[in-house]
Amino acid sequence: MGKLNGKKIAVVLENDFEDSEFYVPYNRLKDEGAELTIVGLEKGKVLEGKSEGYKAKTDRSFDEVKPEDFDALLIPGGYSPDKLRAHEKAVDFVKGFEGKPVFAICHGPQLLISAEMVKGKTVTSWASVAVDLKNAGANWVDRDVVIDGNLVTSRKPADLEAFVGAIIGMLGK
């Protein structure tokens, strides 16, 4: 039995996600007993990662889920968050996690910018997203993992160990 037994985590995903930023947290959290649901624009769609060609299939569409069905939200990086932020249903779903644990890595905070969830928060991200976060009112810092209240952010695949450790630390209480 893992530390996260019974925890329900939504994973928002679209094509061109950063492979390891999806499968490393997904598999580790699953190993800890969490129930993960891949949520995308279309149920049953096979999505492909941008660097390794890793494939993931959506379990549900945004039309089929509500934030209140989940304990937490995971936003892997790559180009997936930028693609999702162009869809109102995706942004509204993310907004519904205000006050709940939210985990975003690399370009993941782009979706949080569109959901207006970064103002006044201390965060990190892939370096090129820093100016967007600052313009949205966030305090951007260059660290492997940043925890601000219920928000956990990380920069890149090299930070995955710290990122997943922070997620398990927060949800495993």
* pLDDT higher than threshold 70 for residue 1: no
Beta bridge partner(s), residue 58: none
Task: Tell me the C-alpha distance between 38 and 128, whole Å.
Answer: 26
The predicted-structure confidence for 91-145, as pLDDT tens digits, reads as follows 999 999 999 999 999 999 999 999 999 999 999 999 999 999 999 999 999 999 9
Q: Which of 106, 129, 146, 167 is catalytic?
A: 106
Please give the sequence-ordered ranges of beta strands (E in DSSP) within 46-111, or none if there are none: 46-48, 55-57, 60-61, 72-75, 102-105
Q: What is the mean pLDDT of residues 14-19?
A: 98
Average pLDDT of the chain to the nearest whole number:
97
Residue 164 falls in the annotated catalytic set: no
Q: What is the mean pLDDT of residues 34-46?
A: 98
Residue 87 falls in the annotated catalytic set: no
Q: What is the mean pLDDT of residues 41-56?
A: 96
Q: State residue 2's pLDDT score.
A: 85
Hunting for tokens 């009112």 — which residue is that?
Answer: 137
Hunting for tokens 């569409």 — which residue is that?
Answer: 61
pTM, full prediction: 0.97
Q: Which of 28, 85, 107, 156 is catalytic?
A: 107
| In the chain, domain spans | 8-171
* CATH (residue range 8-171): 3.40.50.880
The predicted-structure confidence for 3-13, as pLDDT tens digits, reads as follows 899 999 999 99
Distances (CA, A) of 88 to 14, 104, 111, 154, 172: 14, 19, 11, 25, 31
